[in-house]
Amino acid sequence: MVNLPQHSIRVILTHQAPSGAYPASPTFPTYHYSWFRDGAFIAYAMDVVGEHESARRFHDWVVRTILRHREQAERAIRRAERGRPLEEDYLHTRYTLDGEVGDEEWPNFQLDGLGTWLWALAAHVRRRGDNPYTLPSSWREAVKLTARYLAALWAYPCYDLWEEHPQYLHPYTLSAIYAGLQAARAVGVFNLDGQATADEVHRFVLTHGVRDGHLVKQICPPEQEATLDDDLTTAVDASLIGVSTPHRLLSPTDPLMQATAARIEAELHCEGGGVHRYRADTYYGGGEWVLLAGWLGWYYVEAGERERAQTLLRWIEAQADPEGNLPEQVSTHLLAPAHYSEWEARWGPVAKPLLWSHAMYLILHRALERREGH
């Protein structure tokens, strides 16, 4: 029988590129890139299980990649300061394993991954017990540039973490930006202006991102409010878990966060099963995502609901194939089954292994162990 925690660590370490980048999936051609978002969670998982050198190598790759493309970031900051459209001047959400721009067109203007990277880097520094004021100069330079970039661009609509809906702002994305700005201060390279921006982001989410007592999937810019579909004004998305776990824009036990989690549980979590992204999902038929089951379980651990977390952990373990590999999603309960075949014809079978799935499993597994006193 496969020891899934050990196998998950091995999958991640085996497929980490010599550059330090983590490919999203080694067997799914479309995912032969490294995303800041996926990689940040993977690096955090490596820190959680004590593989600090792997995490350090990923952070080093991010630093090199950001500094390699710093002119795009600086142009974006200048345009934002003048209130102008960004055009093509922005950092991408994913790069090749060597830190270069990919050849294919992609919905690249996404801000959450950079915020999540700053959060993961601060966690890496904290777990290693490093003095943040002695970070390598290149790391400090990349952190400062990224924080300036997020502070300047946070109010621009962008693609969400599922790489959709670029016309809106997204509470999850904003929470990642909030966490990133806080993290930049924690490692000593951002100032009080950064905290003021983080506070502004916090207020914006609570003012515009709440309907019927819970957080919503997306926020429409004021000039577009008349075009917003009524269903989207109250829809939830499983990524909203991240507003508290781990980004702490809200605490796990905040009544607003608890109401949001309850709505996610009711609408997106199959009883005894996994977690869907959102009700209108059609990607590979809208299956149950392994990483989201791990994410919701992680939230439940932090909220003190250990039995719910254990149920999700067991479900994840049941999704591993005989070799122990975890997929991106499973197709037991599809929200839009008519769309499954079109994605399979376009890109092949569902990605497996997905390194982010293994990372979220490790995070949940270790979180439960900590609560049990191991």
Positions marked catalytic: 160, 163, 328
CA distance 156 to 153: 6
If we measure between CA atoms, which residue out of 364, 354, 365, 363 comes closest to residue 25? Answer: 354
If we measure between CA atoms, which residue out of 222, 230, 69, 200 comes closest to residue 142? Answer: 69
3-state secondary structure the chain: CCCHHHHHHHHHHHHCCCCCCCCCCCCCHHHCCEEHHHHHHHHHHHHHCCCHHHHHHHHHHHHHHHHHCHHHHHHHHHHHHCCCCCCCCCCCCEECCCCCCCCCCCCCCCCHHHHHHHHHHHHHHHHHCCCHHHCCHHHHHHHHHHHHHHHHHCCCCCCCCCCCCCCCECHHHHHHHHHHHHHHHHCCCCCHHHHHHHHHHHHHHHHHCEECCEECCCECCHHHHHHCCHHHHCCCCHHHHHHCCCCCCCCCCCHHHHHHHHHHHHHHECCCCCECCCCCCCHHHCCEEHHHHHHHHHHHHHCCCHHHHHHHHHHHHHCCCCCCCCCCEECCCCCCHHHHHHHHHHHCCCCCCCHHHHHHHHHHHHHHHHHCCC
CA distance 254 to 162: 26
